[in-house]
Structure 1
Amino acid sequence: MTTAPERPPGPMAPDTLLDPRTLLTDRQFASVVTTILDNNPGMTENMAERITTEGLRFTVTAALTPGHAMAPSRIVDEGWHSLILHTELYAELCGVFGRFVHHSPGYSPDHYDGDVLEATQAAIRAAGFEVDAELWRAPDDESLVAVAANCQHAPAGDGPVKPMPTPQPPCHNK
Structure 2
Amino acid sequence: MTIALQHPVGTTNPAALVDSQVTDRLVRRITADHPEISEPTARRIVGQAAAFVAASGRYPGQSLAPSQLVDYGWHAFILHTVDYARFCSQTVGGFVHHVPTDEGDETPGQARATRERTLAAIRAAGYTVDEELWPDLAKCTQCHAGCTDSPKNS
TM value normalised by structure 1? 0.68
Q: How does 1:142-157 map to 2 (within 5 A)?
A: 151=140
Structure 1 residue corresponding to 2:100, chosen from 95, 99, 105: 105
Structure 1 residue corresponding to 2:35, chosen from 25, 38, 41: 41
Structure 1 residue corresponding to 2:6, chosen from 6, 11, 17: 11
- Ranges in structure 2 where 5+ consecutive residues have no aligned partner: 143-154
Aligned CA RMSD, in angstroms, stands at 2.4
Q: Partners in 1 of 2:31 and 2:103 — Cα distance?
A: 25
| Corresponding position: 1:81 with 2:79 | no
Q: Partners in 2 of 1:34 and 1:130 — Cα distance?
A: 23
- Ranges in structure 1 where 5+ consecutive residues have no aligned partner: 1-8, 140-148, 154-174
Shift in Å, 1:11: 2.7
Q: Partners in 2 of 1:109 and 1:75 — Cα distance?
A: 22
Deviation per CA, 1:54-84, whole angstroms, max 9, x where unpaired? 0010011111222322111111111111111
What residue is the counterpart of 1:57 in the other structure?
A: 51
User: Using a 3 Å threshold, how does the CA distance of structure 1 residues 65 and 58 change in structure 2: closer, same or farther?
Assistant: same
What residue is the counterpart of 1:132 in the other structure?
A: 130
Q: Partners in 2 of 1:50 and 1:12 — Cα distance?
A: 21
User: Which 10-residue stretch deviates more, 103-112 or 62-71?
Assistant: 103-112
Deviation per CA, 1:29-55, whole angstroms, max 9, x where unpaired? 100111100110132111111111100
Count of equivalent residues: 135
Instruction: Give the conservation status (yes or no) of the 8 Å contact 1:64–1:99.
Output: no
What residue is the counterpart of 2:18 in the other structure?
A: 24
Q: Partners in 1 of 2:102 and 2:41 — Cα distance?
A: 23
Structure with the bigger percentage of helix: 2
Instruction: Give the conservation status (yes or no) of the 8 Å contact 1:73–1:152.
Output: no
What residue is the counterpart of 2:148 in the other structure?
A: none
Q: Quick one: which amino acid aligns to residue 59 of structure 2?
A: T
Structure 2 residue corresponding to 1:68, chosen from 50, 62, 65: 62
Q: Partners in 2 of 1:86 and 1:59 — Cα distance?
A: 14
Higher relative contact order (CA 8 A, sep 6+): 2
Over 3 Å off, 4+ runs = 105-112
TM value normalised by structure 2? 0.76
Instruction: Give the conservation status (yes or no) of the 8 Å contact 1:57–1:124.
Output: yes
